[in-house]
Amino acid sequence: MTKLRVLVIDDSAYNRQTISEILNSHPEIEVVGKAYDGEEGLKLVAQLKPDLVTLDIEMPRMDGFTFLRIVMSKMPTPVIVVSSHSRKQEVFQALELGALDFIAKPQHHIAPDIANIREEIIAKALTVKALQPIPFSRISLTTPSRGDVRADYDKPRSNLEATRLVCVGASTGGPPALESLFKAMGTSPQCAFLVAQHMPAKFTRAFAERLNRMTSLDIREAEDGMEVYGGSVYIAPGGKHMELAKTSKQLILKLVDVVETDRYVPSIDRLFASAASSFEMSMLGVILTGMGADGAAGVRVVRQAGGRTIAESQESSIVFGMPKEAIQTGCIDETLPLGQIIERIAKFASP
**Which residues are designated catalytic?**
171, 198, 294
Gap between the Cα atoms of 154 and 143, Å rounded: 19
Go through the chain and tell me how many residues it has. 351
Q: Is the dihedral of CA 291, 294, 299, 300 positive or negative?
A: positive
Instruction: Count CB-CB contacts under 10 A for residue 301.
Output: 18
Contact between 285 and 263 (Cβ < 8 Å): no
- φ, ψ of residue 147 to 5 degrees: the values are -65, -20
Residue among 47, 63, 102, 107 at smallest CA distance from 80:
102
How many Å apart are CA 104 and CA 124, to the nearest integer? Answer: 12
350: DSSP letter: -
Under a CB-based contact definition with an 8 Å cutoff, are residues 302 and 276 in contact? yes
Give residues with Cβ within 8 angstroms of 318, minimum separation 6: 100, 131, 134, 172, 173, 177, 289
Strand arrangement, sheet containing 52-55: 29-35, 4-9, 52-55, 79-84, 101-105
The DSSP secondary-structure symbol of 158 reads P
CA–CA gap between residue 84 and residue 91 (Å, rounded): 9
